[in-house]
A and B are shown apart, each in its own frame.
Chain A
Amino acid sequence: MEVIYTGVRQTPEQVVETAIQEDVDVIGVSILSGAHITLMKRLMENLRAKGVHDIPVFLGGTIPLPDISEIEGMGIDRVFLPGTSLQEIVKYVYDAALNKRKKKHE
């Protein structure tokens, strides 16, 4: 696995553009600020506007439970809450990436 780290405090537009130039298999975003609904909405809209429909996006951070269904409704593949084991996240990324590649070859 290769991880391209952008550093903290990226705008949704920067995340999308980075993912596009790096041609990534999966996008992972960590948000602790509480602005997850607005930021992820902007990120997903930006991603779709750029014609990207095949990169799974997952989110981690301090996300209140009631927000999860709204976030998943935006097309975000998975939300990880604090305390999730690293193993679980790695397994998710692995499967999501394989899945994306499989679809690409169909």
Chain B
Amino acid sequence: MNNEYLYELIEKAKRNDKGSIGKLLTILESSPPEAFKLLDIVLRETKSKAHVIGFTGIPGSGKSTLISKLLSFYKKENCKIAVIAIDPTSPLSRGAFLGDRIRMQEHSLAPNVFIRSVSTRGLKGGLSFAGVAMIEVFDYLGYDKVFIETVGIGQAETDIMNSAHTIIVVTMPGIGDEIQALKAGVMEIGDIYVLNKSDKEESQKTFEYLNFVIESNELVGRLGWRPKLLKTSALMNYGIEDVMNAIEEHLQYIIEHRYFDSKAYLRRKLLVKLFIEKLLIDKLELEFERLNIEETPGLRNQLNVLREKIASSLKELELYI
């Protein structure tokens, strides 16, 4: 890819040409040298204004449906919104079936909404780098809100979540084990807890339990913010505006406490780490596959082969710089 083509994509993307934005995102997913060039421009010129909101919670709790309903409300506010919907890659087939979009298709033609599905990919370094880099690109392109949906397991997802200003944990009634997980701190990351599917009968009991957990301060908020618990039914379009208000309240809170920019700095710093990590891990995985144990007897020799290969990938880094 020549530089002219990249610059042209960037110029068109700035005018909200969806095809060009789509292609820029693909670069982040698939081509480190071009991703480097793109991010070099983006990070030099970005204003870091986008409010990044992470949605996490077990599959089936209604994250995608909730996001779709929120999009309807935010669209009325004349907001430009990007959705990054992350689904896991199958470790066996290395393929992925990405189904988050199904719930959001009513917005597919909205000029101010951009939805991108992303799979976690086989290589460990892949996703979190592309995911975090995508946030930067949407921010640069002037999107006001970036919604990220993940299932919230694994390091890659934790990195994505740490890149969000506001984190929403979506849960649903009657999930005994999940409440155990909540207690065990797996989900101690939420700024806003949403009990979705509150149209279901058993929801009141779960609500009271969650409320108890939060009231009794077992869930410690981030940055001194007291986590909120809200009831919704994304299906019946109930309680959605409350979620939007809570998101905006949390935004005001972090702006007033001067956390907004520091979050963006942390995200940028993380991106540097993820970029190098991606280069190293991709290389390591590739060379590991190629390593022929029979022809390279002895741990010393085997490690040495890998060491040389990884060193050569760091040499490649010099090409970028």
Contacts and interface: CB of A to CB of B under 8 A. Distances in A.
A86 interface: no
A39 interface: no
Interface in B100-130: 101-102, 105, 108-109, 114-117, 119
B19 A52 contact: yes
Contacts of A1: 93, 95-96
A21 interface: yes
Interface in B71-115: 89, 93, 95-99, 101-102, 105, 108-109, 114-115
B22 interface: yes
Given A3-B97, A14-B108, A21 B21 contact: yes
B98 A2 contact: yes
B23 interface: yes
Given A7-B102, A20-B18, A23-B23, 18 more contacts: A2-B95, A2-B98, A3-B95, A3-B98, A4-B117, A5-B102, A13-B109, A14-B108, A17-B18, A17-B109, A18-B105, A20-B22, A21-B21, A21-B115, A21-B116, A22-B116, A23-B25, A51-B19
Interface in B19-75: 19, 21-23, 25-26
Contacts of A22: 22, 116-117
A5 B109 contact: no
Contacts of B96: 1-3
A84 interface: no
Chain A contact-residue range equals 10 to 19
B101 A18 contact: yes
A87 interface: no
A8 to B, nearest CB: 9
Contacts, number: 62
A22 B23 CA distance: 8
A50 interface: yes
Interface of B: 18-19, 21-23, 25-26, 89, 93, 95-99, 101-102, 105, 108-109, 114-117, 119
Contact of B98 (A4, A13, A50): A4
Contact of A17 (B25, B95, B99, B108): B108
28 contacts: A1-B93, A1-B95, A2-B89, A2-B95, A2-B98, A2-B117, A3-B98, A4-B98, A4-B117, A5-B98, A6-B101, A6-B108, A7-B101, A10-B105, A13-B109, A14-B105, A14-B108, A14-B109, A17-B108, A17-B109, A18-B105, A18-B108, A20-B22, A21-B18, A21-B115, A23-B19, A50-B19, A51-B19
Contacts of B95: 1-3
A5 B105 contact: no
B32 to A, nearest CB: 16
A34 to B, nearest CB: 22
Nearest to A2: B96
A22 B114 CA distance: 9
